[in-house]
A and B are shown apart, each in its own frame.
Chain A
Amino acid sequence: MQLLSSSIGRKIVMAITGLLMILFVVVHLIGNTTIFGWISGGINAYAHHLHAFPPLVWAFRAFMLAAVSIHIWYGIQLTIENRGGRSQPYAVKATQKATFASENMIWTGLLLLCFIIYHLLHFTMKVVPGMALVPDAEGAINVFTMVVSSFQNFFVAFIYVAAMVTLFLHLSHGIQSFFQTMGWSTDRTLPVYVKAGTLVALVLFLGYVAVPLSIFAGILKG
């Protein structure tokens, strides 16, 4: 298919899979904030409802796995093809518009991959040692206790905060890049997307780190 043989087409696929992941991290963040107790039953109730219908959970996981895999596959391919696009580096480096974030998308991306694997082992498969796994009468793990006991550990809290810095970098370039790749930007709108994209990335960052930081600081207690 022409879409997948062309570099523009492959970037469009990356942009769409990127958008799916952005939507995911937005919804995931809203879910996480239930730890502060704004729904009755807090994060335990949220986790319970989320996993109420296992076939849907697994279908959604398969869907996200596909999106992430496609995104990574083309991301790596794109980066490899671009190596040597410039025959040799200039003696003087004088970039005018490229940013640290734009130049390191593959590295922030791969770090995010490492984090996603760790995060799944940690809170989804619950095989990372050092957290309290307390089952209730029906055998369901108390999510609140699990999360709070995890983030009381400095290193665990640090890994999560560092991962969110990485996500911020990836998205501060990625969001405006999405609009440009889809061809939805003009000279009037692109500067707006750059600012709004960075702002969204910042809000996601602050929202996510609020959980480990407030636990580590002792504001949220088990």
Chain B
Amino acid sequence: MSDHKTMTLTLIVWRQKNASDPGKFETYTAKNITEHHSFLEMLDCVNEDLILEGREPIVFDHDCREGICGMCSQVINGAPHGGQVRTTVCQLHMRKFKDGDTIYIEPWRARAFPIIKDLIVDRSALDTIIQAGGYTSCHTGGVADGNAILIPKPVADEAMDAAECIGCGACVAGCPNGAAMLFTGAKVSQLALLPQGKTEAAARVTAMTKAMAECGFGNCTNHYECQAACPKGINVKFIARMNREFLKAQFA
């Protein structure tokens, strides 16, 4: 064993059997946690203890654990992904906490994200929005020359900034209205900025914003909590760009 100082933490975790179960908070103790544990590794330790005791482990989403897949999704002390700038839960480390801390862990809470179990929510509504128009229609065939269509560097950079979205849904979780404007705005902008996406821009923004409403997401009231919650730092300028695209589409 290493000689690292260890921490003991109190976790207050949302437990819910399924979508129809009302759910409740339960308290657990996380023992022997070092500052090098990631938040998810800390939960792994707690779950190992729970399994040894013959109790149900805490169910949570995760996959890459390196901040790129967008699967991890926990609200920690009221902040999606724990509130550290540009950091997903999986990249959050226990050195951000101190011995004796009490930590509240909750699932994303939004009308459009029903809880599947404990901390896992069903985020397929985001896929529904993408299916409505988050693509470009093109003929497949031989691979096109990478430089056949010239794109100015600032435009490519702007599109890339929007494309950083990993679709985790933290923006929805952070929004007091449960709106998906930052997610949809990022996708609409990313495609509308590039020549390949421009041709379908009007139809896309119309279809995607319609799908957004049908999925039960709320409306934007410009609180900008989404931007604060986003682990990829997606800016609300992409919501403005989507609003602009929407307005343009009215005249298309």
Q: Identify the A interface with B (CB < 8 A).
A: 2-3, 6-12, 78, 81-82, 84-99, 102-103, 105, 173, 176-177, 179-187, 190
Contact = CB atoms under 8 A, between A and B. Distances in A.
Main secondary structure of the interface of B (DSSP, over half): mixed
Interface stretch (B88-96, B103-111, B125-133): B103-111
B134 interface: no
B247 interface: yes
B210 A98 contact: no
B33 interface: no
Interface string B218-242: 1111111101110000011101111
Interface in B153-198: 174-179
Nearest to B82: A94
Contacts of A187: 235-237
B111 A86 contact: yes
B110 A102 contact: no
B182 to A, nearest CB: 12
Given A94-B83, A97-B227, A190-B237, A84 B111 contact: yes
Contacts of B213: 6-7
A6 B179 CA distance: 13
Given A87-B109, A182-B247, A186-B240, A94 B78 contact: yes
Nearest to A95: B225
Nearest to B250: A3
B47 interface: no
B228 A96 contact: yes
A13 B219 CA distance: 14
B220 A86 contact: no
Interface of B: 12, 25, 75, 77-79, 83, 104, 106, 109-111, 113-115, 174-179, 206, 209-210, 213, 217-225, 227-229, 235-237, 239-247, 249-250
Contacts of B115: 87
Contact of A183 (B113, B209, B218, B242): B242
A103 B177 contact: no
B109 A173 contact: no
A153 B18 CA distance: 62
Given A92-B104, A97-B228, A183-B240, A7 B219 contact: yes
A183 B83 contact: no
B204 to A, nearest CB: 14
Contacts of A7: 209, 213, 219-220
Contacts of B177: 82, 85-86
Given A90-B109, A180-B236, A82 B243 contact: no
A124 B219 CA distance: 37
Contacts of A181: 220, 222, 243
A96 B240 contact: no
